[in-house]
Amino acid sequence: MAKKALLIGINYVGTKAELRGCVNDVRRMHISLVERYGFSEKNIKMLIDTDSSSIKPTGKNIRQALLDLVEPAKPGDVLFVHYSGHGTRLPAETGEDDDTGYDECIVPSDMNLITDEAKEQIGESTKKKNRDSGDSSTINKETEAEINEVGSRSLPLETFIDMLKQETGNDNIEVGKIRTTLFDMFGEDSSPKVKKFMNVILSNLQETIATSPGEILGSIENLAQEFLEQKLNDDVKPAIQEVYAGAINGAFPDNGILISGCQTDQTSADASPPGHPELAYGALTNAIQIILGETKGKISNKDLVLKARKLLKKQGFDQRPGLYCNDAYVNAQFIC
């Protein structure tokens, strides 16, 4: 049995979305994996944006690192992914079953958004190895002492758009143009959902080109907006009810274990002790480290999340960490 981990920490240094504690989070988690859970140094890959000698956590590099983690996986392997950095949400552009009105994204250092890649890749690997074992993959995501400074790890869409404008020099970027902008910036290295969206738009443009070739540029914007509105009204809203009904009934698929920094209507905190910004941390990651340090022996996923909620409330944080997994793993050990 192999134990492998991917640790991603992004501080967005020098941007208007700068955070302080994300790289500290992954370094602390690295220590825990080695000293407490027996992970080998050679089986832990770190992607951080504050060290020139480290692989940068760009969208392309994160996708490749996920592939490198899950593709060689065998039955019985333990895969652990930790992400500390910004998250954001885009209005959904498809009517697929997992849509809840938004595409929830993590924000790489180059803004090449990661949409469903992590969930799909970890999920497929888990399905593959669980045919022969009871193990599962774990994703710890914080898209998040006395507290001196507290910031949010939820990146407002307006701020993300401002960062795109600064990066591209194009001031004419709005919500409906985010995906076309990302595709223009990253091409085939874009998120699969961005490429899928562009394929639909370009396919629809063929008729416009044939009938009104002089109106192509205007049609791109109009088609994108029409597509978003149609999918939201016809497909996404009905799908929301199905998704939440399944969640209430415990019908989560066997796609690994996800521990998130907060609920979907909350944000995760980036905090630091008084006078020590260099010791900044993510609220959930810090809580997990405290709990693990006070716990002798094993702790279940459920107990870890419940204790983290209690501790965070005591520390003055509003966020409530979430546990998302198949019912069979609720009481399973946190990291086998």
Q: Examine the fold and report which residue of 200, 222, 242 is the final residue of a domain before the chain moves on.
A: 242
Residues 228 and 304 in one domain: no
Contact 9, 47 (CB under 8 A): yes
- Map residue 278 onto helix, strand or coil: helix
- What band does 148 get if pLDDT is binned at 50, 70 and 90? very low
**How confident is the model over 206-229, as a mean pLDDT?**
54
Residues 302 and 313 in one domain: yes
For residue range 5-15, what is the model confidence (pLDDT) as tens digits?
Answer: 999 999 999 99
Could you tell me the residue range of the domain that residue 60 belongs to?
Answer: 3-119+144-154+252-329
**How confident is the model over 10-31, as a mean pLDDT?**
95
Q: Examine the fold and report which residue of 242, 268, 284 is the final residue of a domain before the chain moves on.
A: 242
Residues 10 and 65 in one domain: yes
pLDDT at 239: 43
Residues 191 and 60 in one domain: no
Domain-embedded: residue 127: no
**How confident is the model over 153-168, as a mean pLDDT?**
92
What the block records as the tokens of 141 is 């995501």
Average pLDDT, the chain: 80
Q: How far apart are CA 295 and CA 55, in angstroms?
A: 33
- What band does 303 get if pLDDT is binned at 50, 70 and 90? very high
Q: How far apart are CA 249 and CA 275, in angstroms?
A: 47
For residue range 237-296, what is the model confidence (pLDDT) as tens digits?
Answer: 444 344 444 444 444 456 688 999 999 888 999 999 888 989 999 999 999 999 999 999
pLDDT at 158: 93
Q: Which of 241, 128, 113 is nearest to 178 (CA)?
A: 113
Percent of the chain with pLDDT over 70: 71
pLDDT at 139: 56
Residues 196 and 84 in one domain: no
- What band does 332 get if pLDDT is binned at 50, 70 and 90? very high
pLDDT at 90: 86
pLDDT at 200: 75
Residues 205 and 100 in one domain: no
Residues 181 and 203 in one domain: yes
Domain-embedded: residue 128: no
Domain-embedded: residue 290: yes
Residues 19 and 168 in one domain: no
Residues 12 and 107 in one domain: yes
Distance (Å) of CA 129 to CA 125, 258, 331: 6, 17, 20
pTM: 0.80
**How confident is the model over 231-238, as a mean pLDDT?**
46
- Does the structure show a pLDDT above 80 at 226? no
Domain-embedded: residue 184: yes
The structural domain count of the chain equals: 2
For residue range 52-105, what is the model confidence (pLDDT) as tens digits?
Answer: 899 999 999 999 999 999 889 888 899 999 999 999 988 876 545 444 567 889
What DSSP string describes 44-74? EEEEESS-TTSBP--HHHHHHHHHHHHTT--
State the CATH number of the domain containing residue 286: 3.40.50.12660
Q: Examine the fold and report which residue of 193, 224, 242 is the final residue of a domain before the chain moves on.
A: 242
pLDDT at 211: 58
